[in-house]
Structure 1
Amino acid sequence: MKSLIKMTLVSSAIVLALAGCDDKKSSDTSSSATNQITISTDAQKEAYALGSSFATYMKSNLEQNEINPDKEYLISGFNETFHDASQLSKDDVKNILDAFGKRIQEESQARFEKQKSENTAAGDKFREEFAKQDGVKQTKSGLLYQIITEGSGRHPTAKDTVIVHYLGTLTDGRKFDSSYDRGETATFPLNGVIKGWTEGIQLIGVGGKIKLVVPPDLAYGDQSLPGQQDKAGIQPASTLVFEVELLGIDGDKAEESTPVQNQEQSEQSDK
C-alpha cells in the first residue's frame, strides 16, 4: 500500500508537470486545461504519450482507492522538490506518506468490511425469498436454480465448452454483464468459469434456459470487480443472479439452437 501511494502521488505530479503545468499555483482547473502545449517533435510526442499513459493508470488507481489529492499542492510538491526547494525534508515526506498509507489502508479495510456485511445480508435475504418461488430447487452446494425451459438437446459436462446467451444482475436488479447487450453469444469452457455456472449449466440441455442464484462462495467470494462502461461493479460477498440460455455445445453443431436475437424476443418466447 505504501509503495502504491508513493508511486501514485509522484507519478500524478509527473503527469501534471508533463502536461504543461508551470510553477504557478492555481485552483482554476478550467484555465489550466485551456493552456495546452504544442506538440511537434518526436521527443515531445514521446514525453506527452508517457504522461498520458501515467495519467490513465494513476487516475484509475486513485479512484479505486478513493484518493482525491489537492492537485495544486501535488504539483507544487513535485516542482519545488525538482528545483531543490522542497518545504519538507526527506524524513518528513517519508513519515507523512507512511501515515497516509496506513490511513488509506484502514479506510479501505473499513469499506471492505462494510460492503461485505451489507452484501451478505442482502444476499441471504434474496436467496431466502427466491427459494420460495415455484420450481426453485437447491443443490447440495447451495446453488439455487429455476429451470425455465428444459431444452431438448444433450446436457453438457464440466469438460464441455458451451455457447450461451446470458444476463447477469446483482440482487438489487442492477446489471453487471449481458451478452444480449453486446449483441453476440458467448462461448465458455464450463471448467473455466465460476462454480455456480459450472454446476448450473449442466442442469439443462441445449435449447434450455435456466435462472441461477449464485451465493458468494460459488461466485467471486470476497473479490471486488470494477464495473464496465454502464454496468455495475461486483462488490465483496455478492450474490449473483443469472439467466442463461444454452444455445449449443461447441463441437455439437447439429444440436446448436438458433441464437435469440435479443432479450425481449427471448422473454416473449417464454410467455
Structure 2
Amino acid sequence: MKSLIKMTLVSGAIVLALSGCDDKKTSESNTETTESKVTLSTDAQKEAYALGSSFATYMKSNLEQNEIKPDQEYLISGFNETFRDASQLSKDDVKTILDAFGKRIQEESKARFEKEKADNTAAGNKFREEFAKQDGVKKTKSGLLYQIIKEGSESHPTAEDTVIVHYTGTLTDGRKFDSSYDRGEPATFPLNGVIKGWTEGIQLIGVGGKIKLVVPPELAYGDQSFPGQNDKASIQPASTLVFEVELLGIDNGNAKDQNSQETNSQKAK
C-alpha cells in the first residue's frame, strides 16, 4: 500500500508537470464536466493525454487490486484543484490522511488474506479427503493426489525434460482459472520449471497419457495469490488446485517422441 501511495503522488506530480507542455486551457475549460471529451489535435495534446491515460490505468489497477473504491468525483477534484494550486488540503494534511489511509488498507488487506487462507485451507482439506476415496486415486509421499485416466506409452518424461501438454486447471469449486484448450494450442515448458505438483505428477504417465492431479497448496503456489484473467477465476492463498493434463509429447529431439507428439497433437485438435 505504501508503494501505491508513493507512486500515486510521484506519478501525479510528473503527469501534472508534463501536462504543462500542452496548450494552456482557459479557466472556463476547468469547469467542464467529466463526461465532456477534449479534441486531440496536436502531438503535445496527444502526449499529455497519453500520460494522463497511463496514470489513470496504473491507479485504477492498483485501487482495484486492493479493493479500494474512492469517490471518483472527489478523486478528480483533488487532482484538478491541486494542479491549479487550489488544493483544499495542505501537504501535511495530505501526508497525514494518506498515512492513516494506508494503515487502514493494510489492516483490511491482512484480515482479508487471513480469511481467504482459512476458507481455502478448509475447502482444500475437504476436497482432497473426498477425492482420495475415488477409485484409482493414489497419494504420493509429498501429498500429491493423482488419478491416471490413461497410462500412455512407455516413454515417460523426467524432471529435466521439456514437455508438450494440453491441460485444464480448476479450483476445488470447479471454477476454471487456466486452460490450454481455451487458448487453442498446447503448452510447452521445462518440467522442472513449474509447480512441484506438476513436476512430480506428469512423470507418472507416458506420452499420449492423461492424468488428474489434485495439488495441495504446498505443492502449488502456497500463500501466493494471482488475479484471474479473461474472465477466469483467481487463485487465492492456500488454494488446492485441480488439473487434468494430457501429455502430448516430450521435446527432447528424440524422433520417436516427436512422432508421438505429432500424432497426439492431431488427435487433440
TM-score scaled by length of structure 1:
0.87
Give the Cα separation in 1 of the matches to 2:8 and 2:29: 20
**8 Å contact from structure 1 (residues 12, 55) kept in 2:** no
Taking only the aligned residue pairs, the percentage that are identical comes to 81
Moved over 4 A (4+): 9-15, 20-23
**8 Å contact from structure 1 (residues 8, 61) kept in 2:** no
**What is the CA distance between 1:89 and its match in structure 2?**
1.8
| Residue deviations 1:15-44 (CA, integer Å, cap 9, x gap) | 9xx7x996449xxxxx633x1100011111
**8 Å contact from structure 1 (residues 155, 203) kept in 2:** yes
Determine if the alignment matches structure 1 residue 7 to structure 2 residue 7.
yes
Q: What residue number does 1:48 align with? A: 49
Q: Secondary structure at the match of 1:221?
A: coil
Determine if the alignment matches structure 1 residue 102 to structure 2 residue 103.
yes
AA aligned opposite 1:216? P
AA aligned opposite 1:200? G
Determine if the alignment matches structure 1 residue 258 to structure 2 residue 260.
no
Q: Does the C-alpha gap of structure 1 residues 51 and 253 become closer, same or farther in structure 2, counting only changes over 3 Å?
A: same
TM-score scaled by length of structure 2:
0.88
Q: What residue number does 2:61 align with? A: 60
Determine if the alignment matches structure 1 residue 179 to structure 2 residue 185.
no
Q: Secondary structure at the match of 2:268?
A: coil
| Structure 1: runs of 5+ lacking an equivalent | 26-30, 263-271
**What is the CA distance between 1:119 and its match in structure 2?**
0.3
| Residue deviations 1:202-255 (CA, integer Å, cap 9, x gap) | 000001000000000000010110101121110000000000000100023133
Give the Cα separation in 2 of the matches to 1:104 and 1:36: 33
Give the Cα separation in 1 of the matches to 2:118 and 2:57: 32
User: What is the alpha-carbon root mean square deviation over aligned residues?
Assistant: 2.1
How many correspondences in the alignment?
A: 253
Determine if the alignment matches structure 1 residue 215 to structure 2 residue 222.
no
Give the Cα separation in 2 of the matches to 1:167 and 1:151: 18
**What is the CA distance between 1:78 and its match in structure 2?**
2.2
AA aligned opposite 1:245? E
